A and B are shown apart, each in its own frame.
Chain A
Amino acid sequence: MSFLLTCPNCGVREVTDFGYGGEINPRPKTDPSFRELNAYNYFRTNTAGVQREWWFHRSGCRAWFCAERDTTTNEVLKTELP
């Protein structure tokens, strides 16, 4: 796997510069049921296609940002600060 990501602060960098934060998985707003809590903690959509996800510029500015990436081609369509 090798592709590029554009850090909103630093610019284009190799993917290995970044930490992957997983697909964006919003935290439940109110007291979730046990099932909802489990779903939030342990289940992911695992989209084959474009998904929104968290990335962390670990070897750079150490900012968290959001990306839209096609998981089938690794094409990164968009990156932005949250």
Chain B
Amino acid sequence: MSRLAPQPGERIDRTRQISFTFDGKRVTAFEGDTIGSALYAAGRRTFSRSFKYHRRRGLMCVAGQCPNCICSVDGAPGARACIEPAREGLVVEHVNATPSLEHDVMEITDRAGTTFTPPGFYYKTFIRPRRLWPLYEKLLRNAAGLGKLRNEQPEREWRTEYRRRHADVLVVGGGIAGLSAATAAAHAGADVVLADEGLGGQLSNLDELTAAARDAGVEIIDGGSALGSFDGLVPVWQGDTLHQVRAARHVFATGTIEQPLVFARNDLPGVMLSGGALRLAQSYAVAPGRRAVIATTSDRGLRAAATLRGLGVQVVAVCDLRPEPNELGRALRRAGVPVFAGHTVIEARGRKGVDTAIIAPIAGGDEHSFDVDLVLMSGGAMPATSLLLQAGARTEYDERHGHFALAQLPAGVFAAGEVAGVTGDDAVARSGELAGLRAAHELGFGDADTRDRLDVLETAPADALADEVTVAPAVAGAGRGKCFACFCEDVTSKDIGLSIDEGYDSIELSKRYTTVTMGPCQGRMCQLQSVRLMAQHNGTSLGDVGVTTARPPWVSVPMGILGGRPVEPAKRSSIHSRHRALGANVKWAGDWRRAYDYGDPAGEALAVNRAAGLIDVSTLGKLLVRGSDAGVFLDRLYPNRFSDLKPGRIRYGVISSDAGRIVDDGTICRLDDETYYVTTTSSGAGAVEEWFGWWLADWMLDVRITDLTQGIAAVNLAGPRAREIMSAVCDIDCSNDAFKYLDGKHATIAGVRCLVLRIGFVGEVGYEIHCPAALGEHVWDALIAAGEPHGLRPFGLEPQRVLRLQKMHILVGQDTDSESTPFTAAMPWIVKLDKEQDFIGKWALTHYSEQPPSIALVGFTLSNGDVPTEGAVVLGEDGSPAGQVTSSRHSPALDRTIGMAWVPAALAHDGAKITISDVGRQLAAEIQTRPFYDPDGELLRS
């Protein structure tokens, strides 16, 4: 790992070494390195293979802007090695080369030359014969694209945090202009967010400015890339968070992008932007090369030449594209650097990388050849206006600079710094401050002092025009080799000409035909080049050619960030640690982490039927409905009555929609005249609260709804020995006379006041015990301890499903769907059409009650031990699909297969035979309409 002497602004920490692998080989790096800087320091020059011709590509921009160093990091393709931080243990792999980066069989497409693969090649070649298209498609799909996505990934691995941020001012860009704007706006009193891509590394006073901005209260999103501007909403991508920033005013300080030059083989590894070479040297102390030729349209390249010389790079020639050398050029000459005015690089040569650079006068003339390992280009500073254009700004062609510059800004949008054409650190800082103050003042912030400062800045004379610049030729050295206008999509200067000749003579059409500007760089490296080539070919001005519409996303972003699963907090019951300690098999159930079983679902189910079991049912939705109209309210929401329910009694209820469809179910206990305790299904808790709230908003009754779901823990103690256990732990009489089935009573268990509901979802004598969540574990422990001598076992969700199926207790959503009514779900008794009061669903249910349902929900048994898959098809008499298995399990207590299914109504009687078609199997089953276990509910009531 060769490094330069320590640099003043270097980002690496030489005391901390780390390592990662590239294509299986270990690479050492310093903390603060990027993958790209570490690989370059280790001597790697080829970083990727190009999209179409599979040409070697090496570092060019070192700023995450060009496509040349795209690689795959830990299995995720699309990373830019030059900005991706090196971290211990990363697995980095090349993309788009088989079998290896050094030997790529698809290189043949480059050798075969452009006669074989001009633009439109696919459309023209693979159209005939038509019947071969499936074969073509397979081959093309294999050849297309950069990198491979993994076929699968763990279900909850990638989650995106979506954060909304409302601010007064959003500043995009963390350079001098952006930081100055943010600080000024914040000082004036505005709430300011700044999105900082973190690429301004080598500016010496940036740390100070950043600290000043933070002190002023600016929220800085470090490493945050603004993806686009959508009607004032700017998404800022940072790691696995997407900040959706909505601000009243926007300041864009997005700077400029150094442009490459178009010459023969301008893509060889070793051909770099001058800024890229400086970043390698100054931020990472990596020598970009030993012998360099530099071609520049402004002083920027001359300054780079001087700096690199100082770092030990031998600059063998400087091509200043301007006709006469200026003071800086003369100074370089005096120092012994050959400066060629009016010259440019016309060709780079070399096999694996640059070994020779050929320069010539722009107007033509004597060529000079130099042995080099580095060719630096500085083809002008194009304002990064894309986000501004998306926000509604307009650009115009700027003759002097040869690029498109801002001409008009929409209301509420400001541009600051180099993107607005300002150069020089002090002027850039002032333009930032001005934009920040204007934004803040427009919103009514600021005081007399900031007003004064604003006046001073606004009336200050314009800064003298800085560097003399010249406009690079559209292409130099045409005919000597491929001259790339677009590195992402491998579009050459010739291709642009060809597309025009074929009739795609507007920039928008040419873009679609050649795909220039459509690659990962989003036009950063190719927009201007393609416009220049078109203007040259058409003989028109660049202003007439214009630019293509700026579209999001401005930076390549993983799809998961835009549309991935959000971070969903996992819900855990307050008793969860006990399940973990018991070795529970914990799985997702909706948002909840629940104990499916404790290793022995059959044994757990048997324990409930034979002795006793305890299950955590804290996930049940729990609503407190209070008020003088509470009874009336529930009467209107449920098809059965609740106003006549006596305090201390419980009734089952099914909520139906106005279309008569089942929405949810649960039990309701009346606590006193004005208070009902409503439980809902675990998955329906939120929806039921919304449903109740919606109707309450409409009806305006004297009712208050409180969602207690998270605050209350609940456990169900059930089984033939449950009463004995209950009597041992609580302070009330639990005899069947004193505490009947469907009674709800308060009792003190192990010192905790609980609400105890005697209900029987699992089919045995059962007590559902509700207590404050904070005391859930305490109550659980007390019950487990008291139950031990009676054979009590904790049981999970899976045995509970078996037990409830034995009783044919439905699960809403499992045994019903969005079409199910109480009539088709075998619960006609729950609909009280004689209820004098109107209720939700009354009219539709009246209609359904008059029409015999065509399907029915019934039970079935299977004698031979087969368990059909849930969802298997029930066949009608003619063998066509006529129904569906909704639930099926093996019942350990009954030792046979039991299930529930929708069947044609004609078959809904005991003893009817049905055939179930299940993945190729035909199973014979027998219908049973009454519960499989304790059909008369004698055990339940005992």
Q: How far is the CB of A23 from chain B (nearest CB, A)?
A: 14
- Give how many B residues have a beta carbon under 8 Å from the other chain's beta carbons: 21
Q: Is B244 an interface residue (CB 8 A)?
A: yes
What chain B residues lie within 8 Å of A21 (beta carbons)? 694
B693 touching A63, Cβ below 8 Å: yes
Q: Is B690 an interface residue (CB 8 A)?
A: yes
Q: Is B804 an interface residue (CB 8 A)?
A: no
A34 touching B847, Cβ below 8 Å: yes
Looking at the complex, which one of A2, A27, A64 makes contact with B231 (CB distance below 8 Å)?
A: A2
Tell me the nearest residue of chain B to A30, going by C-beta: B838
**Proximity string of chain A (51-81) to chain B, C-beta cutoff 8 Å, 1 when within and 0 when not:** 0001010100011110000000000000001
Beyond A56-B690, A56-B694, whether A37 also contacts B843 by CB under 8 A is: yes
Within 8 A of A (CB), among B237-257: 244, 246
A54 touching B844, Cβ below 8 Å: no
Q: Is B164 an interface residue (CB 8 A)?
A: yes
A62 touching B689, Cβ below 8 Å: yes
B693 touching A64, Cβ below 8 Å: yes
What chain B residues lie within 8 Å of A82 (beta carbons)? 697-698, 700
CA distance A37 to B732 in the complex (A): 50
A14 touching B844, Cβ below 8 Å: no
Q: Is B233 an interface residue (CB 8 A)?
A: yes
Tell me the nearest residue of chain B to A21, going by C-beta: B694
A58 touching B690, Cβ below 8 Å: yes
Q: How far is the CB of B568 from chain A (nearest CB, A)?
A: 12
**Proximity string of chain B (827-839) to chain A, C-beta cutoff 8 Å, 1 when within and 0 when not:** 0000000000000
B166 touching A31, Cβ below 8 Å: no
What chain A residues lie within 8 Å of B844 (beta carbons)? 37, 41
Q: Is A49 an interface residue (CB 8 A)?
A: no
Tell me the nearest residue of chain B to A64, going by C-beta: B697
What chain B residues lie within 8 Å of A64 (beta carbons)? 693-694, 697
Beyond A21-B694, A41-B658, A62-B693, whether A4 also contacts B246 by CB under 8 A is: yes
A: contact size bracket: 20 to 34
Within 8 A of B (CB), among A1-31: 2, 4, 12-14, 16-17, 19, 21, 27-28, 31
Among A19, A27, A31, max chain B CB count under 10 A is at: A27
CA distance A13 to B166 in the complex (A): 8
Looking at the complex, which one of B233, B697, B700, B843 makes contact with A2 (CB distance below 8 Å)?
A: B233
What chain A residues lie within 8 Å of B700 (beta carbons)? 82
Q: Is B659 an interface residue (CB 8 A)?
A: yes
CA distance A32 to B658 in the complex (A): 12
Q: How far is the CB of B390 from chain A (nearest CB, A)?
A: 14
Q: Is B230 an interface residue (CB 8 A)?
A: yes
Q: How far is the CB of A52 from chain B (nearest CB, A)?
A: 13
What chain A residues lie within 8 Å of B164 (beta carbons)? 13-14, 16-17
Tell me the nearest residue of chain A to B686, going by C-beta: A58
B697 touching A27, Cβ below 8 Å: no
B246 touching A41, Cβ below 8 Å: no
B659 touching A41, Cβ below 8 Å: yes
What chain B residues lie within 8 Å of A12 (beta carbons)? 166
CA distance A41 to B164 in the complex (A): 35
Q: How far is the CB of A5 from chain B (nearest CB, A)?
A: 12
Looking at the complex, which one of B244, B689, B847 makes contact with A37 (CB distance below 8 Å)?
A: B847
Q: How far is the CB of A81 from chain B (nearest CB, A)?
A: 8
B658 touching A40, Cβ below 8 Å: yes
What chain B residues lie within 8 Å of A27 (beta carbons)? 658, 698
**Proximity string of chain B (642-661) to chain A, C-beta cutoff 8 Å, 1 when within and 0 when not:** 00000000000000001100
**Proximity string of chain B (691-721) to chain A, C-beta cutoff 8 Å, 1 when within and 0 when not:** 0011001101000000100000000000000
What chain A residues lie within 8 Å of B698 (beta carbons)? 27, 82
Q: How far is the CB of B161 from chain A (nearest CB, A)?
A: 13
Tell me the nearest residue of chain A to B689, going by C-beta: A62
Tell me the nearest residue of chain A to B844, going by C-beta: A37
Beyond A21-B694, A58-B690, A64-B693, whether A14 also contacts B246 by CB under 8 A is: yes
A19 touching B690, Cβ below 8 Å: yes
CA distance A16 to B246 in the complex (A): 13
CA distance A49 to B166 in the complex (A): 27
What chain B residues lie within 8 Å of A13 (beta carbons)? 164
Tell me the nearest residue of chain B to A54, going by C-beta: B694
CA distance A40 to B697 in the complex (A): 19
Within 8 A of B (CB), among A32-55: 32, 34, 37, 40-42, 54
Q: How far is the CB of A1 from chain B (nearest CB, A)?
A: 10
CA distance A34 to B848 in the complex (A): 11
Q: How far is the CB of B632 from chain A (nearest CB, A)?
A: 16
CA distance A65 to B231 in the complex (A): 25
CA distance A56 to B692 in the complex (A): 12
Q: How far is the CB of B531 from chain A (nearest CB, A)?
A: 32
Q: How far is the CB of B235 from chain A (nearest CB, A)?
A: 9
Within 8 A of A (CB), among B796-840: none
Q: How far is the CB of B817 from chain A (nearest CB, A)?
A: 17
B694 touching A2, Cβ below 8 Å: no
CA distance A45 to B778 in the complex (A): 55
A56 touching B693, Cβ below 8 Å: yes
Tell me the nearest residue of chain A to B698, going by C-beta: A82
CA distance A61 to B694 in the complex (A): 13
- Identify 19 new A-B residue pairs, CB closer than 8 A, beyond the known A14-B246, A21-B694: A2-B231, A2-B233, A12-B166, A13-B164, A14-B164, A19-B690, A27-B658, A27-B698, A28-B843, A32-B843, A34-B847, A37-B843, A37-B847, A42-B659, A54-B694, A58-B690, A62-B689, A81-B697, A82-B697
Residues of A within 8 A of B (CB): 2, 4, 12-14, 16-17, 19, 21, 27-28, 31-32, 34, 37, 40-42, 54, 56, 58, 62-65, 81-82
Identify 14 residue pairs between A and B in the complex whose beta-carbon atoms are under 8 Å apart, listed by A's number. Answer: A2-B231, A2-B244, A27-B698, A28-B843, A31-B843, A32-B843, A34-B847, A41-B659, A54-B694, A56-B694, A62-B689, A63-B693, A64-B694, A82-B698
Q: Which 10 pairs, one residue from A and one from B, show the smallest C-beta to C-beta distance?
A: A64-B697, A14-B164, A41-B659, A82-B697, A2-B233, A37-B843, A64-B694, A64-B693, A41-B658, A56-B690
